[in-house]
Amino acid sequence: MTDFSPAIESAGYDWAALAGEDLPEILAIEEAAQPYPWSEAVFEDCLRAGYHFDGAFTRGCLLGYSVVMPVLDEWHLLNLCVDPSVQRRGVGRFLLQRLLDSAAAQDVHSVLLEVRAGNRGAIALYESLGFADIGHRKAYYPAPTGREDARVMRRLLA
């Protein structure tokens, strides 16, 4: 992936909706960042289903993306992924805040997500933006030693 200077931490990011032509960049980030990445077919299914794909950019380069499944007045964050070369520089927070702002503007009641129980960085981000635990999924994610539990979190908007 592209290596960005530390100056990116204070830089603003651009946002745009993503589409099928963005799949090569999305897949490159997914494969670099995830121990068990989604396949191209999964992303294609999400696009066909009309799920929201949003991206964070700087200087025209995709830094991270989110995939959201809207269900009536509730959104389910299915995937939030940031290029490893720019993690911990506010890209994930930018994407998540943008998602929450968009959801609120569309009168969405809540946003749900699952997160690996051991993903402390992501959990801290979600909690800092008002997400709270509402459940637990035992052995939800694949892991090197079998399966890993998930925390189910929700942020109420209305």
Catalytically active residues are 114, 126
> Are 64 and 82 in contact, with CB atoms under 8 Å apart?
yes
> Are 18 and 59 in contact, with CB atoms under 8 Å apart?
no
- Give the other-Cβ count within 10 Å of 37's Cβ: 16
Tell me the β-bridge partners of 64. 56, 82
What single-letter amino acid sits at 47?
L
Start-to-end Cα distance in the chain: 38
List the one residue out of 43, 44, 101, 52 whose CA is nearest residue 76: 52
State the Cα angle at 124 between 120 and 130, rounded to 5°.
Answer: 145
Using CA atoms, how far apart are residues 135 and 152, in angstroms rounded to an integer? 5
